[in-house]
Structure 1
Amino acid sequence: MGIIRNQSIKSSLLTYIGFGIGAINTLLLAKLIDPNIAGLFRFFVSVATIVFALSNLGSISVMNKFYPYYRDLLPPPRRDILGLVLMFCITGFILCTAGFFIFEDLVIRKFGTKSTLVVEYYYFLIPFSFFYLFFVTFENYSYNQFKSLMPIALKEVGLRVLNLGLGLLFITGILRLSGFVWAYSMIYGVLLLTLLVYLYRQRDLVFTFKISSVTRRLASKMITFNATLYLGAVMGVIAQNIDNLSISSTQGLGMGFVFEFSTYVATLILIPQRSIIAISIPVLAKAWKDRDRSAIQSIYRRSSNTMFSYALLVFLLIWMNIDAGFSILALDEIYNQGKPVIFILGAMRVIEMSFGVNSQIIGTSNYWRVQFFSELVQFGLAIPLNIYLMRLFGIQGNALANLLSLTVFGIIRYSFLWFKFRFQPWTLHTFYILCIAVSGYFICASINIPNPYVSLIFRSIVFVAWYIGLILIFKLSNDVTEGWNMVWKRLKRQ
């Protein structure tokens, strides 16, 4: 447990460092680089993510699910699961590469008018997608070796440092656009090489292509598992990236980056979600094993209370200071079109956080297929809604599509847990916290201070004092109260 706790703390620290570097990088791109160029690199990531989902043919999910059997039953030189995954990935990538050539004319028709850079640098997508595919493959393999810190450091910090370095080289004129794109297409190659060297030095880069007895025994289960989840995984990735692809196709790469910038701002609301999920999964799994439904209900409510409290705080701080923040950053006028997107996506994240860990409750139970089919519904809604609503409302339509599809997803999970187990995430405290947040927002929004710096600081202080103070006074959140008591004790010691 000590090792797990230490690695969790270190990985969380790396994530926050990476997020900070990413924020600097995103700001530099927004202020100093043409939005069309910045949008090109977000387009690269969207395409590579889809290529990854298609190319691995579901093999990585199978490895993550069944690797413990190989680890327990076979010595490293006889574990063929990584060899099988590599074979599937190579086969899938060859098919996807053929797709790049087959669909080239379609890409030219769709992107040739609004996003000419996509057509100009189209074939750079192939090496970028190749290195992305195999970096994620060995990243997952590394996790299965209980070596998580290095891939997390590379993905969360290394990638963003490289992005920042390339951005500075381009901004200063050392790299021209063609050289910038070439270097960017190799960026995951650098991460992949570093990870391979690390695994080799750790003596973990050991595998075989000879079919083992474990594979023969588990083959039918692995095929069934893969057949069930592969379609959902592909649809999920497409749904998550359809907004960027559709915007880039019809409105240009610049508007695609405006949407990405707005998404990044709204993502601030999700910062604590990873750690809460990571902590809750093993506890939930044990509670299901012990049939301790009261513990599951307690985790459900407490996670909802904590995540909802944090989400409201950050969302309303962002929204009440949105004009002051944009004024201070002095961004191009095009980014003002992203303000409604920030509001819609921010509201979406608040709703998502209010449902707590209901996805993890279902996923760790024997009813994981409910989670899978609810995801299919979400993704099935997200794709057509993104296309239809974008035509009506532009990038605000894409944000609305994401809000609607995620809300439906949350309601399905909520309904299943309520009707099956009578689990309920919300209490009267949830309503009281919402009332405090809304009243605090309107109080602070009525404060009119012309200076954007003073306005941002003063409004934020007043809102945080009102919001946190009333939650503490009325004891509406155990985690907020415990966190405050911990900080207060440490301050008193000093």
Structure 2
Amino acid sequence: MGIVINQSIRNTIITYIGFAIGAVNTLYMYVKFLGDTYYGLVGYILSSANILMPLMAFGVHNTLVKYFNEYKTEREKSEFLTFILFLPLLLVIPFSLIAYFGYHQIAGLLAQENLIVYDYVWQIPVIGLSMGYFEIFYAWVKVHLQSVLGSFIKEVLLRILISISLFAVYFNWITPIQFVYTLMGIYLFVMLLMKWFAFRVRFPSFTFKRPSNSKAIITYSLFIILTGGIANLFLEIDKFMLNWYVQIENIAYYSVAIFIATVIAVPSRAMHQITYPITAKLMTENKLVELNELYKKTSITLQIIGGLIFVGILTNINELYVLLPKEYSGGIFVVFTIGLSKYFDLTLGNNNAIIFNSQYYRIVLFLGILLILVTVGLNMIFIPLYGLKGTAFATLLSITLYSLSKLVFVVFKMKLFPFSINTIKSFGVLITTFLVFYFWDFGFHPILNIALKSILITFFYTGLSYYFSLSEDINLILNKVFKRIGLK
């Protein structure tokens, strides 16, 4: 668990630096510099590209992690990596032809409610392809346990480049229309940069020969396309469907709320970068005892860290929205509902990595398809009735059902269980912290309120978690910190 904690901490720090930059972009620069209409357009384009990403990558970013450790010789690894690099072209080429010749029909369908979308639909597959190959090259370095620079490129550099472009809009160096094109160029650039780093870590010796298990690779990749697409649909289908029912400005309001709620999931994203390949290795070696221990540790660690962020957001949400234009205030309910679903998902630890690297991975496909149908149906019902609140509620139900179904499957089928008595204690700490601080207002400027309350919450919540020894790994890190500053 040492390498997990070490790189997870680095990835978490990098990711939160990225989120800090992203927070400035999302909560201020997009709102003030770009305006609601083009902000909504950008949100729609990026959400649609994220939905396409697993298709553009052919799912091989997960396949690379799953099968890499099975190859022992350098020749076998070269054959595998070459196969992985070119496999996505099986879908990219025909998909590109369909998109090119059917552009007017596709764009017309997507622009029924918001005509501004029509001229930018072609950017969706380009950005989706960039995202897809970025993840492939990112997986390339993950299997060599060198994920930190990849995290920096994805979480920090990307947002810095966007910030620079938004400043360019502010100083009238480029127009909002040109910013949309610049954004596409940024995603292409970071993909090429990730490729450069991946090839520095291990330059491929191109061997155009199918691996002996190519059938299993293709089958698993097709599965990942579907399951990865389902996972991305859960994250992005709300914004995609909002475009059909409401004015595009509402996507801007919803994007802000989703960004705030998504901060809760950052620890999971950071830890996932290193636990995924370790989980794959443990399952390949059939070390179920070690796997179950890793499962419990990731669960309680993520619950504690994510719980601190969750309660910090909930207790400061009213002050935060005072800083935004009144039009955005409807997103408070979205933050509460989506945040709750993210918190529950955190408590499942490396649940996804376990399922995707097991022989039972196909079960997720069945569950995912069923719940996507439920999600689309709920959105079709609730968006026309309740707008942003409706799609948030639909998303909460869908994600919770999906996460719960995967948990039940792992518990009963694989005999692995992530929870302990500390899970209940940690939830109790969260509830106690929320009740103590939610109704507490200093009466100062909102930014000062948020800063003071956040500091107090951090000490209170962390102190209780440390006192009850909820996580061995977190206590170990805190003890090292105390020793360095002379408190222990």
Both structures adopt the same fold (TM-score exceeding 0.5): yes
- Greater shift, 312-321 or 286-295, is seen at 286-295
What secondary structure sits across from 1:182 in the alignment?
Answer: helix
Residue in 2 aligned with 1:237? 232
AA of the residue aligned to 1:376: I
Residues 1:345 and 2:345 are matched in the alignment: no
1:470 aligns with 2:469: no
Q: Structure 1 stretch 159-168 or stretch 48-57: which is displaced more?
A: 48-57
Is the Cα contact below 8 Å between 2:301 and 2:474 reproduced in 1? yes
Shift in alpha-carbon separation, 1:129–1:480, aligned structure 2, 3 A: closer
CA gap 1:67/1:251 in 2 versus in 1, 3 angstroms: same
Distance 1:12 1:308 in 2: 14
Amino acid at match of 1:186: G
* Change beyond 3 A, Cα 1:353–1:101: same
Is the aligned partner of 1:483 residue 2:486?
no
Paired position in structure 1 for 2:381:
388
2:62 and 2:473 map into 1 onto residues whose CA distance is 34
Q: Give, in angstroms, the shift of residue 223 of structure 1.
A: 3.9
* Comparing 385-394 and 315-324, the one that deviates more: 385-394
Amino acid across the alignment from 2:17 = I
Match of 2:347 in 1: 354
Encode CA deviations 1:376-417: one digit per residue, 9 max, x unaligned.
344343332233222232112222222212211222222223
SS in 1 for 2:485: helix
In the other structure, the counterpart of 1:447 is: 440
- Contact 2:14 / 2:155 at 8 angstroms: preserved in 1? yes
Instruction: Give, as a single letter, the amino acid of the residue that structure 2 aligns with 1:26.
Output: T
CA 1:90–1:14 in 2, change beyond 3 Å: closer, same or farther?
A: farther
Match for residue 160 of structure 2? 161
Shift of 1:348: 1.1
Q: Amino acid of the residue matched to residue 475 of structure 2?
A: T
- Tell me the SS of whatever aligns to 1:321: helix
* CA root-mean-square deviation: 3.6
The runs of 5 or more residues in structure 1 that have no matched partner are none
1:180 aligns to what? Answer: 179
Once residues 6 and 302 of structure 1 are traced to their aligned partners in structure 2, the CA distance between those partners, rounded to angstroms, is 14
Structure 1 residue 334: Cα displacement: 1.3
Moved more, 165-174 or 289-298: 289-298
Distance 2:346 2:81 in 1: 40
Listed as ranges, the gaps of 5+ residues in structure 2 are none
Write the deviation string for residues 213-246 of structure 1: whole angstroms up to 9, x where unpaired: x34x434333433444433333443343211111
1:191 matched residue in structure 2: 190
Task: Give 2:216's aligned amino acid.
Answer: K
Q: Deviations over 1:25-48 (max 9, x none)?
A: 223112333122112112121222
Alignment-derived partner of residue 119 in structure 1:
118
Tell me the alpha carbon deviations over residues 418-463 of structure 1, each in whole angstroms, 9 at most, x when there is no partner: 3335544333333333233323322223334322355434433443
* 1:407-426 equivalence runs, <5 A: 407-420=400-413, 422-426=415-419
The residue identity in structure 2 corresponding to 1:417 is V
8 A contact 1:128–1:187 mirrored in 2: no
Partner of 1:311: 306
Distance 1:334-1:130 versus aligned 2 partners, 3 A rule: same
The answer to whether structure 1 residue 26 and structure 2 residue 29 are counterparts is no
Which residue number corresponds to residue 255 of structure 1?
250
| TM-score normalized by the length of structure 2 | 0.85
Report the number of matched residues.
484
Deviation larger for 91-100 or 249-258:
91-100
In the TM superposition, residue 147 of structure 1 has moved relative to its aligned partner by: 6.9
Q: How does 1:48-127 map to 2 (within 5 A)?
A: 48-58=49-59, 62=63, 65-66=66-67, 69=71, 72-73=74-75, 80-81=82-83, 82-86=85-89, 88-109=91-112, 111=113, 115-125=114-124, 127=126
Q: Deviations over 1:299-327 (max 9, x none)?
A: 33333222222222221221111122223
C-alpha change, 1:405 and 1:430, in structure 2 (3 Å) is: same
Which structure: larger Rg? 1
CA gap 1:25/1:134 in 2 versus in 1, 3 angstroms: same
Conserved 8 A contact 1:124-1:181:
no
Partner SS state of residue 442, structure 2: coil
Change (3 A) 1:395 1:165: same
CA drift of 1:67 comes to 5.8
Deviation of 1:77 after TM superposition, in Å, equals 9.1
CA distance in 2, matches of 1:95, 1:80: 26
Deviation at 1:290, TM superposition (A): 6.1
Q: Could you tell me how far 1:288 is from its partner in structure 2? A: 4.5
Q: Which moved more, 1:24-33 or 1:475-484?
A: 475-484
Alignment partners' CA distance in 1, 2:201 and 2:291: 39
1:220 to 215, 223, 227: 215
One-letter code of the match for 2:307?
A: L
Structure 1: distance between partners of 2:305 and 2:192: 38
Which structure is higher in RCO with an 8 Å CA cutoff and minimum separation 6? 2
Contact 2:18 2:156 in 1 (8 A): yes
Q: Aligned equivalents of 1:193 and 1:2: distance in 2? A: 31
Contact conserved, 1:151 with 1:195, CA < 8 A, in 2? yes
Q: 1:38 to 1:373 in 2, by over 3 A?
A: same
Mapped contact 2:351–2:407 kept (Cα < 8 A)? yes
8 Å contact kept, 1:63–1:85: no
CA 437–373 in structure 1, closer or farther in 2 if over 3 Å, else same: same
SS in 2 for 1:175: coil
Amino acid of the residue matched to residue 484 of structure 1? L
Tell me the TM-score normalised to structure 1 length.
Answer: 0.84
How far apart in 2 are the matches of 1:278 and 1:232? 18
Q: Distance in 2 between matches of 1:185 and 1:348?
A: 30
Indicate if the aligned counterparts of 2:56 and 2:88 stay in contact, CA closer than 8 A: no
Q: Is the 8 A contact 2:47 2:239 kept in 1?
A: yes
